[in-house]
Amino acid sequence: MSKIIALLAVLACALSTAATADEARAYKEGPVSIISFIKIKPGQFDNYLKYLDATYKPLMEEFIKSKVILGYKIYQGQAHDPHDADLILSVTYANMAALDNLNDRTDAITEQLLGDRAKRNQKAADRESMREVLGSETVRELVLK
């Protein structure tokens, strides 16, 4: 009997310590976004936006319907020098775990909307004639309590 009481006491301490540590944080971990920084090539802004509207948007909307992503955004920025992004793409996932096996959940949707790998490769080449990817970053939202 004393062993059970001791075990319960240890468990109670462990749980209260975990709760106290969590309460000490002023935030909770929120959604995760992958942000891509894009430099549009001269004279290609309208063409690239048409591509995004015709190809990227339907794909992202289908990912939302399939609950692969929470949402996406497109931002226009002001490039301060020739090496700055002038367009920023953001795709938001529920959490880091949502990135695990992502291709397994997106390949069928991508193939249905964009065609087989050869067609997708051609579209990627066409897209690269309009823009340059300067880099990307994965960020997690911190939600204040």
pLDDT attached to residue 21 = 57
pLDDT attached to residue 118 = 85
Which residues make Cβ contacts (< 8 Å) with residue 45, sequence separation at least 6? 86
Domain locations in the chain as residue ranges: 27-144
Say how far apart CA 57 and CA 46 lie, in whole Å.
15
The CATH code for residues 27-144 is 3.30.70.100
Grouped pLDDT means (10 residues each) for the chain, 145 residues: 51 54 86 98 96 96 98 95 94 97 94 88 88 97 96
pTM comes to 0.80
Q: Would you give the DSSP letter of residue 77?
A: -
Cα distances from 114 to residues 55, 65, 71, 72, 140, in angstroms, run 8, 17, 19, 18, 29
Say how far apart CA 110 and CA 68 lie, in whole Å.
12
